[in-house]
Amino acid sequence: MQAVVIAAVTSLASVVRSRMALQIEVLALRHQLAVYQRAGRRPHLRAADRILWAWLSRAWSGWREALVIVQPRTVISWQRKRFREYWTRLSRQAQRGRPSIAQEIRDLVRKISAANPTWGSPRIMGELRKLGIEVAKSTVEKYRVRPSKPPSPSWRTFLANHAKDLVSIDFLTVATVRFEILFVLIILAHDRRRVVHFNVTAHPSAAWTAQQVVEAFPWETAPPYLLRDRDGVYGVDFRHRVAAMGIEEVITAARSPWQSPYVERVIGSIRRECLDNVVVLHERHLCRILTAYFDHYHRWRCHQALAMDCPQPRPIQGREQGAVVEVTESDGLYRHYERRAA
């Protein structure tokens, strides 16, 4: 009895299946006929037509024999295309990768880098950090404006030990508009890259240089060590005065400016950022120019060796303190950025 029931059910299922396949075939043929009647000799298939045949290819095994309007491989390519579009839409809905950088920050990075072509990415990153904007160095590299010429290479740090106990002294020469040579004495403290003292003269001597050291370190503020080169201006008077102050001289090797990298680096910054952009008239004019530069240097210029801080520690400004404002100094010779309330 069980075998009879199974045979009867199987026969009924085959009849139903064959009738359904017949109805699907009729639907497919009528659809193709409608396409020909609609478009003429060269049928134009719409999106609904492609979806129908993609469904028939999955639900009906005899779809290849009934299809005459296009090649079977065309239907398969439709299905693959729909599959790609489906997963493309899904992937675009999700948030991918790191969060995007706000357009305001992008524009600010481009503005700072374009206005200061000698600034590297670490210095721009430090400037942004002081404005309360935390970005990675790779972000600054991506959005900064590249200058036509690469910036001058920076000096590598050579002296790391005893920075708090060491100062450097050196001269730089400046030519005036009348071709006179002026000598600028720089005394630099290594701990915060501070220019402790500077002065200008047309006739340097050992006695004059020694007096500048006394003015730079009054009372009990003299450092233990003074780093200098072998210039003849550091004569007997200079050595006796420095020894009387309890300062031990550290003399670099001949023709080896790399042994005094900090003060050489500062002199390079003075030339690139200040003196290369002005014409010096006379001694008093040079003193005014350098005074304005050192004021900007100590308060606003970030240093990589100071964790992108300034010689005079500069507080970080948050977004709540207002919008970022570009402030120009010395008639546009220098720029710094700070937040100010509207």
CATH code of 119's domain: 1.10.10
What letters, b where the CB count within 10 A reaches 16 and e where it falls short, cover 215-239?
ebbeeeebbeebbbbeeeebeeebe
Cβ neighbours of residue 175 under 8 Å, at least 6 residues apart? Answer: 181, 182, 280
- Here the tokens at position 317 are 């400004």
Q: Which domain holds residue 23?
A: 2-93
- Here the tokens at position 226 are 């003074």
Do 107 and 81 have their domain in common? no
Question: Global pTM?
Answer: 0.60
What pLDDT score does 179 carry?
93
Length of the chain: 342
Q: What interhelical angle do 236-244 and 206-216 show, nearest 10?
A: 20
Q: Specify the amino acid at residue 15.
A: V
Do 72 and 136 have their domain in common? no
Do 86 and 109 have their domain in common? no
Do 173 and 301 have their domain in common? yes
Do 25 and 86 have their domain in common? yes
Do 301 and 167 have their domain in common? yes
Do 81 and 197 have their domain in common? no
d(CA 208, CA 83): 85
Q: Has residue 141 been placed in a domain?
A: yes
Each of the 342 residues of the chain gets a pLDDT tens digit; together they read 554 455 455 555 555 556 677 777 777 767 766 766 666 666 666 777 777 767 677 666 666 666 666 666 776 776 777 778 877 877 776 556 677 888 999 999 999 998 888 888 999 999 999 999 999 999 999 999 887 665 554 444 444 556 778 899 999 999 999 999 999 999 999 989 999 999 999 999 999 999 999 999 998 899 999 999 999 999 999 999 999 999 999 999 999 999 999 999 999 999 999 999 999 999 999 999 999 999 999 999 999 888 899 999 999 999 999 999 999 998 889 999 999 987
What pLDDT score does 100 carry?
81
Helices then strands (H, E): number in the chain?
A: 11, 7
Instruction: Check residue 31 and give left, alpha or beta (phi > 0: left; psi -120 to 50: alpha).
Output: alpha
| Residue that terminates a domain, selected from 93, 112, 143 | 93
Place of tokens 């009906």: 60
Question: How many CB atoms sit inside 10 A of residue 128's CB?
Answer: 22
Do 183 and 290 have their domain in common? yes
Do 335 and 298 have their domain in common? no
What pLDDT score does 43 carry?
66
Q: Coil, strand or helix: which one is 338?
A: strand
Quote the number of domains for the chain.
3
- Here the tokens at position 16 are 């139903």
Q: Has residue 312 been placed in a domain?
A: no
Q: Has residue 24 been placed in a domain?
A: yes
Do 174 and 247 have their domain in common? yes
